[in-house]
Amino acid sequence: MIPINNFNFVGEIGEGGMGKVYRYAHVRLNRDVAIKFLQPELSSREDLVERFKSEAIAQARMSHTNIATVYEFDQINDMFYMVLEYVKGETLDSVISKEGRLSWQIAVQYAIGILDGLDHAHSFNIVHRDIKPSNLMITEQKTVKILDFGIARILNTARLTKTRHAIGTLEYMSPEQIKAHETDARSDIYAVGIVLYEMLTGQIPFVKDTEFELQQAHINEKPKSPCTFSEEIPKEIARLVLKALEKNPEKRFSSAREFSEALRKQIAFAPPRFS
């Protein structure tokens, strides 16, 4: 337990690539928060601390239903931490593990929420770069909350010095990320395409034995249509998913908003029914 002024420790939430995340209760506001600490070895890097701070400031500017809010950035002794909205629910990763393939209506509704949050972030020139089910929380009200903006960039900075290769979550990385080319909002769109594919089918589009084979699949291999896995998935939904997964960013949706609007048209007459 790490004591912090004005906060009472509640428990440990989990651990990510950046460090451990704990649940605290704000004494005066009577509000639970999530506090994310930089790993000690990362805290010793001045460039990483500055990036962590700048990312926290950038995130704090954002205010959106589908993004976990950042409240504060601070340090205690030599430890740097970020105070975030505590999201009560479960990760999309957990939902898929338990339920397998989701109904196409629910999958599309979640994807729309992700895209709406990303559209807001992109309006601030903030690209997530690590959209994946474990970074997406499903609240008790069935709203999607995006977590961990900017963390991929921080970790990449730490590892590039040692490996000279960009590091990310390979299963959800766009071809341009794998090639270490410049990324923009369309890389997030590719990742949402992977996540939506997984929600619709219960599996990611590329399953390989080695990292190299997976990289090559993202760069060269055409994914199977989601319709291959279920006749219930509308062909137009499958087409939109495959458009998001185009190898060439120029052939994808130009923005998160364009993608979400296309999905909204398909779900307009078939709203999701949550159990």
Q: Which residues are catalytic?
A: 130
The answer on whether 36 is annotated among ligand-binding residues is yes
What does the alpha-carbon distance between residue 5 and residue 129 come to, in Å, rounded to a whole number? Answer: 33
Q: Which residues contact 239 (CB under 8 A, 6 or more apart)?
A: none
Binding site listing: 36
Binding site listing for ATP: 36
